Structure 1
Amino acid sequence: MKILEPMPSTVPGVGEVLRDFGPAYAASGFLGLVFAASGPTAIILSVGAMGGLSSDQIASWFFGVFFVNGLITITLSWLYRQPLGVYWTIPGTVLVGPALTHLSFAEVVGAFYVTGLIILAVGASGWVRRAMQAVPMPIIMAMVAGVFLKFGLDLVKTVRGDIALGLPMTAAFLLLSAVPNLGRRVPPLLGALLVGAIVIVGLGRFDASTVGSFQVAHPVLAHPAWSANAMLELVIPLAITVLVVQNGQGFAVLAQAGHAAPVNASTVACGIGSLAAASVGAISSCVTGPTNALLVSTGEPRRHYTAAIWMGLLATVFGLLSPAFTRLLLAAPREYIALVAGFAMLRVLQAAFVTAFRDRFSLGALVCFLVTVADVTVLNVGGAFWGLVAGLAISRLLERPDFRVA
């Protein structure tokens, strides 16, 4: 298909991938998995409990979002030699919770299937790339800054609220960042992660009984039901969340790090992944912002793809052993995850603010940022999407000369 971006003339062999790999990329990929397997999995557990899903259905959901998306991440990142981390839509998962109180799970699965078809069709049409080009980068990055601001605020609050854990991790991160020779040997994020793990174990804040109880996931084929109510309530919000909000964040983060992501090919892959995930009762796939921010947070851009491949491999293992790994990660204190995510997001948040408010479209970017942070939900669609709409509208109305600048 000509609409899909061409792949590099040669794809890296195993030896080249291993040569490009290193401690910094291992840390970034591992942190990407840790982020996805902590707070976001808790959201799935909460939604599953709200909808009365069985433990087998929830385990199957975990299998879909980790194993299926892990395979897509590996394939895309290897073929395009870029970090293209694919997971699932977290805001979309939040939307599913209330829907399950009055819709059957089969009806929700039917909505997952239709959403996957829409994502696939839009990606194959090439509409996504044109839509991304129609929205100025400062406004997109203002939306990214608004979404990621929470991680920075949580970092500050957690350091203040949990000094015993926050101070050692902060000291390790700052020391390794300030001394380049040390930082090259032990990446700052990895150092903070390890110091935090030592503190948690030393203070007895980790439930060791979760270790060793491994179970293999048994995915359950989900049978869809076709309901007009489910289509109206879920399909359009889910499709908007994936195509505009989530993928928009992911592509913007990658662009900021110097990667020209294959937008159409990635969207098509997300559509295929969404259909595969729906078959086991899991929500739609997307190119996530926070995870890709972790993948590009350190190291050389040309080697970032190895972090994504590593994360994809870890995700497939997590998917196969999701019941055990989920208990293991959720046993760690919430503060630990908040600190790691906050440190990882600092540079990305800084770059987002610089791009958003450097020169053109600054008023539209400010409005986008404020609406995104306010997170007002309208028509079951979250604040990030409405932030883009409001920011673009304000720039079209009050910053028209900026659109005429090449």
Structure 2
Amino acid sequence: MSRDNDQNAHPEKLPGGLQSIRSALSIKAVSAGVVATLFGCSGPALIVISAANAGKLSNGQTVAWLFAVYFLGGLISLIMALRYRQPITGAYSIPGAAIMSAALVAIPFSEAIGAFVMAGVIVLLLGASGLVGRVMRWLPMPIVMAMIAGALIRFGVGAVESIGAAPLIAGTSLLAFFLTSRFLKSVPPVLIAAVVGFVVAYASGSIQAGDVDIAMVAPQFTMPHFSFDAFMAISIPLAALVLGAENAQATGVLLAEGYRPPINAMAVISGIGGIVAGFLGGHNANIAGPMTAICASEQAGEERERRYGATLVNGVLFCAFGLFAGGAVPLIQALPKALIASIAGVAMIGVLLAALQQAFNKQVGYQVGAFVALVVAMSKLSLFGISSPFWALVAGIAVSALLRETTHAPIERRKETVATVEKHT
């Protein structure tokens, strides 16, 4: 499937079969998988629906789009989690869905579908060539970690802002999380926070039917047409988002948590997912940064080698959401946005701490470049249809090269770091 060394992709060798899978499905893993699903099936689903409305798609075409990205995204989670025993989680590019809102105004949907397929082909070829792995091996890890922290910090900020939007719901949810972390070590704090927040939201009458109006209709598939304009406007930016934002975020998160991600295989399956999703009417299905971050965090369990259970749960629920998208979207949207934001924010704490610690480790260096990458990733910068995480890497590396920043670690430590990074790819 790729040039990755599959053996190196495993943090530990685990016993195969159903027994190992059963042990991975701990309460914490299940709760983290549910949180990732709530995050991925709430606001992001509305972005897809908004893009579909901008393109004046029929209900059947909209349902087909949702089916493609969620069902295939869930299938990617199941394949990668079972193959590599890592929380490599699939979904789709949320920024990619956002740029479709503008693109579909001027480009016919049939041509957009052709562009979706071509974007998948680009990602597949780059992954199969091994180029993605070589690029990731070359990138300075502090700058990659700073990009991860900057891209994910918005979830922490969103948790804080949720208190202003719904003080009672978000406040009690966050308080439940920290009290559980302090006094009930054996209980997943994210799960308790979600339950408490839901109970408070229900008691206060904040759970209402969503405004999304999609009937339970069969998916309507559209034949792709290929055009140069759609290729330039959609295929290239979408491929850049998948590799430069989603896969890069997921890779950085996994590295920060101590895994050895199969980088080229992640690109290959993202390419295959993009091609298949395109033919079904969806903009892509690939490895997802935010969902991987939630499933790879400590909230999914203390044992790293068992956290892939969260990805399995997320994969099953994503597949189910894709199959029943027409009726599931209004149900998800009945939950208060503040509740989802607060839970997603606290689920990111462990990943953010690990990324920041590795980004600004004085023994490694690249301090200024890492800072530039951090603030660029935190911004809403978008150039040529490509969002800030990609430009964070570009800016961080450019500044480090301009300042001639190098590692301050001893030669022996530098060699050890290089050898470790090489194992990742």
TM-score band (shorter)? Answer: over 0.9
Counterpart contact for 1:145–1:369, Cα < 8 Å? yes
Counterpart contact for 1:165–1:199, Cα < 8 Å? yes
Equivalent in the alignment of 2:321: 318
Q: Which amino acid aligns with 1:238?
A: L
Q: Which amino acid aligns with 2:286?
A: C
Counterpart contact for 1:100–1:108, Cα < 8 Å? yes
Secondary structure of residue in 2 paired with 1:100: helix
Q: Which moved more, 1:247-256 or 1:201-210?
A: 201-210
Counterpart contact for 2:72–2:285, Cα < 8 Å? no
Equivalent in the alignment of 1:73: 77
Equivalent in the alignment of 1:398: 403
For 1:174 and 1:27, locate their aligned partners in 2 and report how far apart those are by CA, in whole Å: 16
Equivalent in the alignment of 1:304: 307
Q: Which amino acid aligns with 2:163?
A: V
Q: Which moved more, 1:323-332 or 1:345-354?
A: 345-354
Q: Which amino acid aligns with 2:337?
A: R
Deviation by residue 1:80-138 (Cα, 9 ceiling, x = unmatched):
11111011011111111111111000111111000111111111111111111111111
TM-score of the two chains, using structure 2 as the length reference = 0.90
Offset of 1:368 from its aligned partner? 1.2
Secondary structure of residue in 1 paired with 2:286: strand
User: Structure 1 residue 207 and structure 2 residue 212: aligned?
Assistant: no
Offset of 1:5 from its aligned partner? 3.2
Q: 1:260 to 1:199 in 2, by over 3 A?
A: same
User: Structure 1 residue 62 and structure 2 residue 66: aligned?
Assistant: yes
Offset of 1:296 from its aligned partner? 1.6
User: Structure 1 residue 353 and structure 2 residue 356: aligned?
Assistant: yes
User: Structure 1 residue 264 and structure 2 residue 264: aligned?
Assistant: yes
Offset of 1:147 from its aligned partner? 1.3
For 1:158 and 1:98, locate their aligned partners in 2 and report how far apart those are by CA, in whole Å: 28
Q: 1:208 to 1:109 in 2, by over 3 A?
A: closer
Q: Which moved more, 1:11-20 or 1:395-404?
A: 395-404
Deviation by residue 1:318-345 (Cα, 9 ceiling, x = unmatched):
1111111111111111111111111111
Q: CA RMSD in A?
A: 2.1
Q: Which amino acid aligns with 2:288?
A: T
Q: Which amino acid aligns with 2:6?
A: P
Aligned residue runs from structure 1 range 263-302, under 5 A: 263-297=263-297, 298=299, 299=301, 300-302=303-305
Offset of 1:371 from its aligned partner? 1.8
Deviation by residue 1:298-330 (Cα, 9 ceiling, x = unmatched):
211010111111111111111111111111111
Q: Which amino acid aligns with 2:60?
A: D
Select 1:144's aligned residue among 148, 169, 176. Answer: 148
Equivalent in the alignment of 2:166: 162
For 1:217 and 1:155, locate their aligned partners in 2 and report how far apart those are by CA, in whole Å: 35
TM-score of the two chains, using structure 1 as the length reference = 0.94
Q: Which moved more, 1:218-227 or 1:55-64?
A: 218-227
For 1:79 and 1:46, locate their aligned partners in 2 and report how far apart those are by CA, in whole Å: 35
For 2:214 and 2:308, locate their aligned partners in 1 and report how far apart those are by CA, in whole Å: 30
Q: Which amino acid aligns with 1:326?
A: V
For 2:36 and 2:350, locate their aligned partners in 1 and report how far apart those are by CA, in whole Å: 15
Deviation by residue 1:217-253 (Cα, 9 ceiling, x = unmatched):
6333221111111111111111111112110000110
Offset of 1:374 from its aligned partner? 2.4
Secondary structure of residue in 2 paired with 1:316: helix
For 1:319 and 1:196, locate their aligned partners in 2 and report how far apart those are by CA, in whole Å: 26
Q: Which amino acid aligns with 2:294?
A: L
Secondary structure of residue in 1 paired with 2:61: helix
Counterpart contact for 1:63–1:217, Cα < 8 Å? no
Q: Which amino acid aligns with 2:77?
A: T
Counterpart contact for 1:242–1:285, Cα < 8 Å? no
Q: Which amino acid aligns with 1:203?
A: S
Equivalent in the alignment of 1:41: 45
Counterpart contact for 1:3–1:264, Cα < 8 Å? yes
Equivalent in the alignment of 2:22: 18
For 2:223 and 2:181, locate their aligned partners in 1 and report how far apart those are by CA, in whole Å: 51
Counterpart contact for 2:210–2:333, Cα < 8 Å? no
- Percent identity over paired residues: 34
For 2:109 and 2:349, locate their aligned partners in 1 and report how far apart those are by CA, in whole Å: 39
Equivalent in the alignment of 1:183: 185
Offset of 1:45 from its aligned partner? 1.2
User: Structure 1 residue 249 and structure 2 residue 249: aligned?
Assistant: yes
Equivalent in the alignment of 2:330: 327
Offset of 1:215 from its aligned partner? 7.4
Offset of 1:183 from its aligned partner? 3.1
Secondary structure of residue in 2 paired with 1:401: coil
For 1:214 and 1:237, locate their aligned partners in 2 and report how far apart those are by CA, in whole Å: 29
Paired residues, number: 401
For 1:93 and 1:208, locate their aligned partners in 2 and report how far apart those are by CA, in whole Å: 24
Aligned residue runs from structure 1 range 121-132, under 5 A: 121-132=125-136
Offset of 1:401 from its aligned partner? 3.0
Counterpart contact for 1:38–1:330, Cα < 8 Å? yes
Q: Which moved more, 1:94-103 or 1:372-381?
A: 372-381
For 1:372 and 1:73, locate their aligned partners in 2 and report how far apart those are by CA, in whole Å: 25
Equivalent in the alignment of 2:220: 220
Equivalent in the alignment of 1:369: 374
Q: Which amino acid aligns with 1:372?
A: A
Equivalent in the alignment of 2:195: 194
Select 1:341's aligned residue among 339, 344, 363. Answer: 344
Counterpart contact for 1:12–1:81, Cα < 8 Å? no
Secondary structure of residue in 1 paired with 2:382: coil
Counterpart contact for 2:23–2:306, Cα < 8 Å? no
Counterpart contact for 2:373–2:395, Cα < 8 Å? yes
Counterpart contact for 2:210–2:330, Cα < 8 Å? no
Q: 1:215 to 1:5 in 2, by over 3 A?
A: farther
